[in-house]
Amino acid sequence: MKSLEEKTIAKEQIFSGKVIDLYVEDVELPNGKASKREIVKHPGAVAVLAVTDEGKIIMVKQFRKPLERTIVEIPAGKLEKGEEPEYTALRELEEETGYTAKKLTKITAFYTSPGFADEIVHVFLAEELSVLEEKRELDEDEFVEVMEVTLEDALKLVESREVYDAKTAYAIQYLQLKEALQAQK
């Protein structure tokens, strides 16, 4: 198999922000021709599928400026420098929902937009939840509303496009699959 790799010839930083950086790279394609790639650098993120003992999913309603609308997501947040994803997952769950978890299991990780960004999302299942006695502070530019929904309700939120993002769609489907596999036994 011939290599599909693209070699960097030159790299220009266009923007450095508080969340993302933007680069344009001149690359040499596998056939030797030249092209340009637009690349968004992101610190990576975690997402937490938190399920109560009663089987309810903890979700957060949040305004998303890029979409100019409010959507319902599983709790999530950016990795801070040097943080282990497990640590960030628990922190974001606590900050956004007021719950903490005794049991945290890695489900998977995936890149969200490999064509133009390096953002990776680490997805965790959080169980054995309890309410924190002292609420943790949200980031000062974060405003969320916490919801507890059954899997059935979550599927309705997907249907009505109130749930509308990849990590949340994946997490809900994960629970559906888990339930279907258990029913087989």
Could you say which DSSP state residue 118 is in? -
In this structure, the strands spanning 45-50 and 120-131 are parallel
- 115-144 positions binding a copy of itself, by CB under 8 A: 115-119, 121, 140-141, 143-144
In this chain, which of 9, 10, 132, 166 binds a copy of itself, going by CB under 8 A? Answer: 166
Residue 152 among the catalytic residues: no
Sheet holding 21-28, edge to edge: 7-16, 21-28, 34-41
Is 117:40 a contact under the CB 8 Å cutoff? yes
**For a copy of itself, which residue of 49, 50, 51, 71 counts as binding (CB under 8 A)?**
71
Of 20-49, binders to a copy of itself (CB under 8 A) are 20, 22, 24-25, 27, 29-31, 33, 35-42, 45
Query: Phi and psi at residue 87, in whole multiples of 5°?
Result: -65, -45
Which residues are documented as binding site? 14-15, 37-38, 64, 76, 92, 96, 113-115, 119, 142
What phi and psi values does residue 85 have, to the nearest 5 degrees?
-55, -40
Tell me the binding residues for substrate: 14-15, 37-38, 64, 113-115, 119
Which are the catalytic amino acids? 140
